[in-house]
Amino acid sequence: MENPVFVVPGHGNSGPAHWQSLWQSTRPQWRRLQVDDWDRAVCDDWVSALEQQAGGLGSDLVVVAHSLGCLAVVHWAMRCTLRIRGALLVAVPDPQAAAYPAETSLGFEPLPSARLPFPSIVVASNDDPYGSTAYASERARAWGSEFVEVGARGHINAASGLGDWPEGYRLLQRLL
């Protein structure tokens, strides 16, 4: 039996052409974070939603997070009581980056710098406007994560033209 998978989109949610949505569309057993407002992210609200919704999925949960969802997962990990098998953290944004939506993403700073209590892979693109590879690599080191740089893939989202992003799915398989 495959481990339960919990999809955690970023700011604005991941639309139908995003790799997270494409992966989930063929795996109806996967669950997805639901929040009241995808366009105004409040860290404590997202962390509470993560704790409440993931709690019913059982142990050995694998988390697939994108962008701001990565920051929410890291905050959640510091107070989570669930057994998490691993996390794929894709396109970790830098709250100091010019493109970061600071006015609609509240309470995510300061980011935890402690080692995550589960295996994780941080995936970064070398032309992501929301965060540099140097920043993602620094976060991966602090969190005890494996770091994977995938070349010029923008924000590793639907606009990047990745389709169902087989390279990312292979990374996820290592956590499952």
Domain ranges of the chain: 5-175
pLDDT-derived band at 87 (thresholds 50, 70, 90) equals: very high
The whole-model pTM stands at 0.96
Query: Mind listing the pLDDT tens digit for each residue in 12-46?
Result: 999 999 999 999 999 999 999 999 999 999 999 99
Query: Mind listing the pLDDT tens digit for each residue in 106-155?
Result: 999 999 999 999 999 999 999 999 999 999 999 999 999 999 999 999 99
In angstroms, the CA 75 to CA 78 distance is 6
Quickly count: other Cβ atoms within 10 Å of residue 30's Cβ.
Answer: 18
CB of 107 within 8 A of CB of 44? yes
In angstroms, the CA 154 to CA 131 distance is 10
Instruction: Sort 161 into a burial class: Cβ within 10 Å, 0-12 / 13-18 / 19+.
Output: exposed
Superfamily in which the 5-175 domain is placed by CATH? Alpha/Beta hydrolase fold, catalytic domain (3.40.50.1820)
pLDDT for 75 beyond 80: yes
